Structure 1
Amino acid sequence: MILDSIAFERDDCLLFSGICLSLESGEILQIEGPNGVGKTTLLRILSTALMPTAGKLLWQGSDVARHRQLYLQNLLFLGHLPGLKQSLSPTENLIWWRRIHRDHSPLKNEEILSSLGLCGYEDIPCYALSAGQQRRAVLARLLVTEAPLWILDEPFTAIDKQGVADLEALLIAHAQHGGMAVLSTHQDLGIANVRRFPLVASAEVV
């Protein structure tokens, strides 16, 4: 994946510009910066939820703007909000997600949720779970996706020390299998060789 001179403008204000990055298989990239600098906006551009004001996003040498569907087949985006159907349980949410994404992983839902510390909570409606438990239910998607590119916005929010270790292990395993990940977090990661990109706001009126 290549970011070629990416810029984004909002309400006549240039949020950031001139961002040039590349990401190879097996790499994890951490986007750093204070609140409001545009980390979530940049990740939403990478997910194609937003279009850049200038510059190009390339995937395997092709312009994502022209080949969006092919690109989307290769990524998993988890935003900072839970993204769960609150009336459904973690098991029901996972079944629903696997169905719409046509997942063929042999892993059973119970095994996946149990491995993330949700044993005993699999069938409780998500609205009755804590914020940390809801985040774990969302992270279950990482165990069944075949997408090589993970885009994660503040994935460590609300999870405890064990949850942090579990997520770091998932990221390490994903990279070791040739995957790549871009994430924003204020967390000091316990992962070797993480690339860091400090995002600096332009704050320029145009």
Structure 2
Amino acid sequence: MTLTITDLSCRRGETTVLHGVTFAVGAGEALVLRGANGAGKTTLLRTLAGLTPPMTGSVVPDLCAYAAHADGLKGQLTVAENLTFWAHVFGTRDIAPAVVAFDLAPLLSRRVADLSAGQKRRAALARLPLTGRPVWLLDEPTVSLDADNVARFAAAAGAHLAGGGSAVIATHIDLGLPGAATLDVSRFAASHAPDAHDPFAEAVE
């Protein structure tokens, strides 16, 4: 399944940040988003995830799993309870493969509120394979992870791609994903193509 983005314009608040974004990511492929802080990487991912409506353009398909800066876990529940909840939401039921992929077995009975930042991040990322969604949208997924767990995440992402999935990842590190392409989002900065209807467009960096 190919993720196709056509002539997408994205807004942050009242400001047009990106304009004319067009690319495609095929099955088994990863696209790494680059750009300075504030360039629009998070804005683009939120738009692709359907959290912020696009101003113009289209995203096909919309079967995406999104992992943002927030971990999205219930602190008073255990790791096992959190993962089981998400597995039931998406109908995948079995959490065992995700537990193995992110080395969570020793943490299953612990409350999320009692975990370190890195442990919370691993538990949050373990939700991705539970969704069964073909497209992963990832915003700095390796924040708070040590080198061993960055490698675990890269292996999980590689397995997703090998299984025919795809990924769009905002990251400043090299995850070693075979054949990953790179896209600098600054090429789509709205300041390069001002919107006559947007008085804020000229101010976008």
Give yes or no for TM over 0.5: yes
SS at match of 1:6: strand
What is residue 107 of structure 2 aligned with on the other side? 121
Q: Describe the superposition over 1:154-203 as per-residue Cα deviations: whole angstroms up to 9, x where unpaired.
A: 11111110111111111111111111111111112222211111011334
Q: Describe the superposition over 1:63-104 as per-residue Cα deviations: whole angstroms up to 9, x where unpaired.
A: xxxxxxxx3xx3211111110001111111011111222214
What is residue 9 of structure 1 aligned with on the other side? 11
* Distance of 2:47 and 2:146 partners within structure 1: 29
What is residue 83 of structure 2 aligned with on the other side? 94
2:11/2:43 contact within 8 Å kept: no
* Distance of 2:57 and 2:8 partners within structure 1: 4
Which of these residues, 172, 182, 189, is aligned with residue 168 of structure 2?
Answer: 182
* Distance of 1:12 and 1:86 partners within structure 2: 33
What is residue 68 of structure 2 aligned with on the other side? 79
* Distance of 1:12 and 1:166 partners within structure 2: 39
Q: Describe the superposition over 1:124-166 as per-residue Cα deviations: whole angstroms up to 9, x where unpaired.
A: 1111111100011112123333211111111111111011111
What is residue 26 of structure 1 aligned with on the other side? 28
Which of these residues, 37, 40, 43, is aligned with residue 38 of structure 1?
Answer: 40
* Distance of 2:86 and 2:105 partners within structure 1: 19
> Bigger CA drift: 40-49 or 117-126?
117-126
Q: Describe the superposition over 1:16-47 as per-residue Cα deviations: whole angstroms up to 9, x where unpaired.
A: 11111011111011111111111111001111
SS at match of 1:120: helix
Which residue identity does 1:81 align to in structure 2? Answer: A
Which residue identity does 1:9 align to in structure 2? Answer: R
Which of these residues, 158, 169, 173, is aligned with residue 172 of structure 1?
Answer: 158
Which residue identity does 2:67 align to in structure 1? Answer: L
* Distance of 1:11 and 1:181 partners within structure 2: 26
Tell me the TM-score normalized by structure 1: 0.85
Which has the larger share of helix?
A: 2
Q: Does 1:158 align with 2:144?
A: yes
What is residue 47 of structure 1 aligned with on the other side? 49
2:135/2:165 contact within 8 Å kept: yes
How many residues in Structure 1 have an aligned counterpart in Structure 2?
A: 190
Q: 1:90 to 1:172 in 2, by over 3 A?
A: same
Gaps (5+ residues) in structure 1?
Answer: 60-70
Tell me the TM-score normalized by structure 2: 0.85
SS at match of 2:82: helix
* Distance of 1:39 and 1:158 partners within structure 2: 19
* Distance of 1:96 and 1:50 partners within structure 2: 25
